Amino acid sequence: MSKVDRFQRIFITLLVAVSFFYGGYYFGQRGYVFQVRKNPPKVEIINKSPSSKTVDFSQFWNVWEMVSNDYLERPVDAQKMLHGAISGMVNSLGDPYTSYLPPDVNKAVNDAINGSYEGIGAELGIRDGQLIVVSPLDGSPAKEAGVRPGDRILEIEGSPTIAITLNEAVSKIRGEAGTISTLKLQRGEEEPFTVTIQRREISIASVTWEDKGDGNLYIRVSRFGGDTNKEWSKAVSEANVKMKELDTVIVDVRGNPGGYLQSAVFLADEFIVKGPILWQESALGEQTPMNAERKGVFENIPAVYVLIDEGSASASEILAAALRETVGAKIVGMKSFGKGTIQDAKNFNDGSGVHITIAKWLTPNKDWVHKKGIEPDVSVQRTEGDFENGQDTQLEKVLELAREI
């Protein structure tokens, strides 16, 4: 036996002893698994110890082995089991905004934020344990089928949604263009009804603008995605050049379910000279401001209005609250959704991702709108007749108020 072989044998023996001692203890108590390899010899720790030293992982591993070895239908899908285990862990927190997204769902969510995907075009949420439509998106099959913010989804493809998670709902409703999704909905106290929606490829600009005459600029923001800042700047630049006078800016975030926090801050900074746009509050109660930093085109606009409704959530609420509390913007429409938490998103190498609630966001006056929503200064509700006739009474009210200035 050569010296090298003798060295490797001694080394491996020591490592096996170490792994037996530590691995046996930590495998059952703290989750460590050691893997011994030769050429070159090394120990690789492939599982980490949890921060809580009292967690006993032995039951998890026992069940994993039982399922792997004894489940009737073989072979079991270990990767699917792993995703399910992580999803269960995250869902146990009871926070609908903290979620683990398997690769297919994570791709669909990221595509939706960036405005290009296949599906029905509706942002979903959980309210009081019930799956709901936060908002159908502009130009989407869902909106064309008459789906509205706040509609409760009772069934998906004939299956009840009781105790369904957001991930499961997204997986069931999303699908290839040309296929059909059937939903049973309930609106308010009305009788449940069924809608059949053909999925299609959806590509929607996040920002559009229109000259409403008499110096009134209307800007529609349908989401806060990766391209929103660029589209916003382009719209603002075009409007500033093409409009001969500019006295009023109307920002419409109705049906906008939110998106990237930084994008909401960027848009608000177009109007706000200085001071906080929002405050972030950590789990320890520490409050940190996110302040206006850039020179905005609309800092001296005489009048600003924001249109909101039940589908305005998260980043939409950040923008609406910031403009009301800092530049005196008037909010018109219906009370917003009420989402006042911030999620950190991380993507993994296998395509999956996780969204974890890490903080609260507070308005410039340090109000927390979570589960409360933002009450409009002028409440205007669109009736069934308004929707059927294509009449936008909320926007009409804003233009009426603008003419009175």
Of 135, 181, 206, 314, which one is the catalytic site residue? Answer: 314
Q: Which residue in the block uniquely carries the two structure tokens 């500033």? A: 240
Retrieve residue 7's tokens.
Answer: 């060295």
Does 172 qualify as catalytic in the annotation?
no
Active-site residue flag, 280: no
Whether 371 is catalytic is no
Annotated catalytic residue: which of 336, 339, 360, 394?
339
Residues 376/333, Cβ–Cβ less than 8 Å: yes
Which residue in 29, 171, 233, 343 is the catalytic one?
343
The residues assigned a catalytic role are 314, 339, 343
